[in-house]
């Protein structure tokens, strides 16, 4: 058993009243739903004591933009009431973000931010006065620090905070989903460079993270819903049954399923080729000057990551190990607790878990 520090004991046995504790709640606002998790600290480590998902009507969130505010506010109110949530760490969409990198001088974050501000108009294609940004150090030499940053138009921030305010929620932090997902899936002190492929319902997010910090991110306008539609059309079944068939049969070849497999691969091959294009560019162009390291492995997450045969299908094209992500890897061992959400569903909670882990990222 791992040794338990006095700091952990004090946090558990001498915990402050709930109303003055940090939120430990992560809320992920995505295209199809709002997902939330709340982390509780036990003597054996961290565990999740609640999972929630409230589905949004089609068109409420489009390309990361909250188009219909009322259903989003309503869902957040329902969530806040159900779990008695007042504050939370909340996601910001990757598709509205601007990742950037820069060498800056100084030894404090304030000095690094000042260095970024002097070049902000070169890093983010928006007027500097209309940009909110944050940074994190990736590596430091004797004179300079190489920082990774993300910028958002202030209107995006204002829209999210306004919706949270209408729902009676206070944002303890707002964070890009790309940073949050890496925090959930990778160990705190890793030196790896990893590609994370998050296959959602209508989109697929691709992130390349070094030492848990995103160096590249993009959102593809195709997701697992296209696979569901292919199954519906082939078998003539409804959406619920199509989802079951999609997970059970996947993209594994078997006797008599040639037509089915062809229908599935015509869709999933689009995702694979778009991922491969980004992967190949990183491996052969981005890392030639020594400013980054090649991707060593690929992690699949998202609500459609568990389609049978998907890791093998990606590995065949990318030529590196491809595995399903463990969204609970930075929590207590499963010997001590069992998630209340089933295994297949858990892959959709990487961002929400990563957000909640901000309180324990030490």
Q: What is the predicted pLDDT for the residue at 21?
A: 53
Quick one: pLDDT band at residue 263, thresholds 50, 70, 90?
A: confident
Interatomic CA distance for residues 162 and 176, integer angstroms: 17
Q: What is the average pLDDT across 145-158?
A: 94
User: Would the pLDDT of 7 be above 60?
Assistant: no
DSSP for residue 226: H
> What are the pLDDT digits (tens) for 112-136?
999 999 999 999 999 999 999 999 9
Q: Tell me what pLDDT residue 22 has.
A: 57
Beta-carbon count within 10 A of 211 CB: 20
pLDDT, tens only, 168-224: 999 999 999 999 999 999 998 899 999 999 999 889 999 999 999 999 999 998 888
Domain spans, the chain? 189-324
Where are any strands of DSSP class E within the chain? 25-29, 33-42, 45-55, 61-62, 65-66, 87-92, 97-105, 131-140, 144-153, 170-176, 193-199, 204-210, 213-220, 297-301, 322-324
CA angle 278, 352, 43 (to 5 degrees): 125
* Residues ≥6 apart with Cβ < 8 Å to 360: 24, 39, 41, 46
Give Cβ neighbours of residue 258 (< 8 Å, ≥ 6 apart). none
What local confidence, expressed as pLDDT, does residue 183 receive? 95
Q: Is the pLDDT of residue 290 over 80?
A: no
The number of angstroms, rounded, from the C-alpha of 207 to the middle of its chain's C-alpha atoms is 9
pLDDT tops 80 at residue 53: yes
Q: What is the mean pLDDT of residues 26-50?
A: 93
pLDDT at residue number 163: 96
Report the SS3 class of residue 310: helix
The CATH number of the domain covering residues in 189-324: 3.30.420.40
DSSP string, 233-263: HHHT--HHHHHHHHHHHTT---TT-HHHHHH
Q: Which of the pair, 152 or 21, is modelled with greater confidence?
A: 152
Place of tokens 């990736």: 138
% of the chain beyond a pLDDT of 70: 93
- Taking 50 as the threshold, does the pLDDT of residue 5 lie above it? no
Mean pLDDT of 73-87: 95
In the sheet that 170-176 helps form, which strands lie side by side, from edge to edge?
A: 45-55, 33-42, 25-29, 87-92, 170-176
In tens, the pLDDT along 324-362 reads 999 999 999 988 999 989 888 999 999 999 999 998 875
Cβ atoms of residues 19 and 85 within 8 Å:
no
Average pLDDT value over all residues in the chain = 89
45-65 mean pLDDT: 93
Six-digit token string for 118: 């002097």
Q: 16 pLDDT exceeds 50?
A: no
């Amino acid at each position: 058993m791992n040794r338990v520090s006095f700091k952990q004991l004090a946090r558990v046995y001498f915990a402050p009243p709930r109303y003055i504790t940090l939120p430990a709640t992560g809320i992920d606002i995505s295209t199809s739903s709002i997902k939330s998790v709340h982390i509780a600290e036990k003597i054996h480590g961290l565990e999740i004591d609640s999972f929630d998902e409230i589905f949004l009507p089609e068109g409420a969130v489009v390309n990361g933009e909250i188009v219909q505010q009322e259903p989003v506010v309503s869902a957040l109110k329902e969530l806040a009431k159900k779990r008695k949530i007042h504050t939370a760490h909340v996601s910001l969409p990757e598709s509205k973000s601007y990742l950037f990198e820069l060498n800056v001088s100084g030894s404090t974050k304030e000095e690094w931010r000042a260095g970024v501000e002097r070049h902000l108009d070169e890093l983010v294609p928006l007027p500097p006065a209309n940009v909110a940004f944050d940074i994190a150090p990736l590596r430091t030499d004797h004179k300079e620090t190489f920082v990774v940053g993300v910028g958002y138009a202030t209107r995006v921030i204002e829209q999210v905070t306004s919706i949270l305010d209408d729902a009676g929620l206070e944002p303890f932090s707002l964070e890009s989903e790309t940073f949050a997902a890496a925090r959930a899936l990778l160990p705190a002190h890793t030196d790896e460079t990893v590609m994370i492929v998050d296959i959602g319902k209508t989109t697929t997010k691709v992130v390349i993270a070094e030492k848990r910090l995103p160096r590249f991110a993009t959102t593809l306008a195709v997701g697992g819903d296209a696979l569901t539609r292919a199954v519906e059309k082939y078998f003539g079944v409804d959406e619920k049954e199509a989802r079951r068939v999609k997970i059970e049969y996947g993209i594994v070849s078997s006797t008599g399923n040639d037509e089915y497999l062809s229908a599935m691969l015509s869709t999933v091959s689009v995702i694979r080729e778009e991922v491969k294009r980004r992967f190949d560019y990183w491996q052969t162009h981005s890392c030639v000057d020594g400013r980054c390291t090649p991707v060593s492995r690929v992690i699949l997450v998202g609500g459609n990551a568990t389609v049978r045969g998907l890791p093998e299908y990606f590995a065949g094209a990318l030529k590196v190990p491809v595995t399903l992500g463990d969204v609970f890897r930075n929590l207590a061992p499963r010997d001590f607790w069992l998630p209340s959400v089933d295994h297949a569903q858990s892959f959709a909670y990487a961002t929400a878990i990563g957000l909640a882990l901000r309180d324990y990222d030490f």
